[in-house]
Amino acid sequence: MFEQLEKHAATARDNLAKATSVDDLENWWRQTLGRKGEVQLLSRGMGELAAADRPAYGKRLNEVKGELEAAFEERKAELKQLELAHKLDAEAIDVTLPGRRPAAGTLHPSTRIMRDMCRIFGDMGFQIYRSPDVVTDRFNFEYLNMPPEHPARDMQDTFYTTDPNVLLRTHTSAGQIMAMREYCPEPIRVVLPGMCYRNEQITARSEIQFHQIEGLAVGRNITFADLKGTLIEFARRYFGADRETRFRASYFPFTEPSAEMDISCMLCAGKGCRVCKKTGWLEILGCGMVHPTVLRYGGYDPEEWSGFAFGSGPERIGMLRYGMTDIRYFWGNDVRFLEQF
Ligand code: PHE
């Protein structure tokens, strides 16, 4: 019996040394010191001993039990220490590594150009007037002095809806009459920013959708000098005070007289290059005095009222300012392009 006790105790110590996890430890405890464990069984076997041997055996059994319990606690502490060391090792953070910067978005170049332009006109007293992208034929053409069959309609290839009277505006001029009818009989000074659509071949210079910023001023004494003064001041503020400007006579059905405005080419400083096609000038917008017919459609008597209007393409203007070579970058969604803003 005594021998058996020592043998069990030795095996139990060996097994304890082999325990490498909390699970192992728990199993060991159950097998060895638990209610149905070996030590318990050994103490039950005491009845088979001669009465004289029992006290010595009981004493030794208690000692063994105490030793095993102590060994258990020791092993447990050891394992805990190991586990902690392991965890620290695995979760180690190298604080000297450079951080990863989260990608922050920026304004789309188009939005940025539009805002810069609108801010300049805003500083000059123009309010922003919002008008819809989908309009009837009348607002886009007829009220702008382009009755059906008018040849100028062909200048702007149009996207129609299933209803031939409803279309995607080809220019922000479509909002002119809406503004007039809302403000009449008060004077007007507004800019109309928005997307325009034309059913055209897409090239480096033309897209099927693009923004425009329309300007419209109506008052009792507005002259061509006001138009020139406003636009020259805009060009100075947007492109810089050293840019030269010029107006060329042009034609639009809804303005009379009409003009186009150029600025001196910033790439070659007027000497002539590929971008300005050797002319030294870059076209930035169309403009003119509001046609009497248009004023009348808007509710204003052209005998008493006059006005000027202009229409500019922010993408084109931005291309000139930032030296971009292809308008298709704007909707190409290439982050390498977009990130530069
Ligand atoms: N709507 C004209 C265009 O898209 C531009 C313009 C606007 C010209 C207002 C004169 C006055 O080409």
Distance 260 CA to ligand 1 centre (A): 9
pLDDT of 319 over the 80 cut: yes
| Ligand 1 atom with minimal separation from the 286 CA | 8
Of 172, 252, 308, the one to substitute when testing ligand 1's pocket (max ligand atoms within 8 A of C-beta) is 252
- Name the 3-class secondary structure at 218: strand
Distance 313 CA to ligand 1 centre (A): 10
Which tokens hold the place of 238?
């947007």
Give the per-residue pLDDT at 166: 96
β-strand pairing of 134-136 with 127-128: unpaired
Q: What is the mean pLDDT of the chain?
A: 91
Distance 213 CA to ligand 1 centre (A): 10
Q: How confident is the model at residue 286 (pLDDT cuts 50, 70, 90)?
A: very high
- Residue ranges per structural domain of the chain: 2-90, 109-338
Q: Whose CA is nearest to atom 4 of ligand 1?
A: 171
pTM over 0.85? The answer is: no
Q: Give the range among 15-24, 161-170, 281-290 with minimum mean pLDDT.
A: 15-24
Handedness of CA 19, 23, 27, 30 (dihedral sign): positive
In angstroms, the CA 76 to CA 266 distance is: 80
User: Which of 230, 228, 233 has its CA nearest to residue 189?
Assistant: 230
Give the per-residue pLDDT at 328: 92
Q: Do 338 and 113 meet the contact criterion of CB atoms below 8 Å apart? A: no
pLDDT of 184 over the 80 cut: yes
Ligand 1 site residues, Cβ closer than 6 angstroms: 171, 173, 214, 252, 255, 286-288, 309-311
Of 157, 171, 180, 317, the one to substitute when testing ligand 1's pocket (max ligand atoms within 8 A of C-beta) is 171
Give the per-residue pLDDT at 195: 97
Q: Whose CA is nearest to atom 9 of ligand 1?
A: 310
Of 188, 228, 254, the one to substitute when testing ligand 1's pocket (max ligand atoms within 8 A of C-beta) is 254
Distance 285 CA to ligand 1 centre (A): 8
Q: For the chain, what percent of residues have pLDDT higher than 70?
A: 100
pLDDT of 1 over the 80 cut: no
DSSP 153: G
In angstroms, the CA 340 to CA 326 distance is: 15
Integer-rounded Cα radius of gyration of the chain: 44
Q: How large is the average pLDDT for residues 229-238?
A: 96
Distance 3 CA to ligand 1 centre (A): 111
Q: At residue 105, what are phi and psi to the nearest 5 degrees?
A: -75, 165
139 or 31: which carries more pLDDT confidence? 139
pLDDT of 115 over the 80 cut: yes
Handedness of CA 288, 318, 180, 157 (dihedral sign): positive
Give the per-residue pLDDT at 21: 82
Q: Give the range among 84-93, 218-227, 253-262 with minimum mean pLDDT.
A: 84-93
Give the per-residue pLDDT at 47: 80
Fold of 109-338: BirA Bifunctional Protein; domain 2 (3.30.930)
Give the per-residue pLDDT at 80: 87
- Burial-class residue 117 by CB neighbours within 10 Å (0-12, 13-18, 19+): buried
- Name the 3-class secondary structure at 324: coil
Residue 24 one-letter amino acid: D
Q: Per residue in 185-208, pLDDT tens?
A: 999 999 999 999 999 899 888 899
User: Which of 218, 209, 197, 207 has its CA nearest to residue 129?
Assistant: 218
Give the per-residue pLDDT at 277: 84
- Listed in sequence order, the DSSP H helices in the chain are 2-18, 22-32, 38-44, 54-90, 109-123, 137-140, 176-183, 224-239, 292-298, 314-322, 335-338
Q: Which residue has the tokens 């001993």?
A: 49
Q: Give the range among 141-145, 150-154, 222-226 with minimum mean pLDDT.
A: 150-154
- Name the 3-class secondary structure at 262: strand
Angle, vertex CA 126, rays to CA 122 and CA 130, nearest 5:
100
pLDDT of 18 over the 80 cut: yes
Name 297's Cβ contacts closer than 8 Å, sequence gap at least 6: 143, 177, 180
CATH of segment(s) 2-90:
1.20.58
pLDDT of 304 over the 80 cut: yes
Contacts 24+ apart (CB under 8 A), 62-65: 64/5, 64/9, 64/39, 65/33, 65/39
Q: For the chain, what percent of residues have pLDDT higher than 90?
A: 52
User: Which of 45, 57, 77, 72 has its CA nearest to residue 6?
Assistant: 57
Q: How confident is the model at residue 297 (pLDDT cuts 50, 70, 90)?
A: very high
Q: How large is the average pLDDT for residues 200-225?
A: 94
Distance 306 CA to ligand 1 centre (A): 17
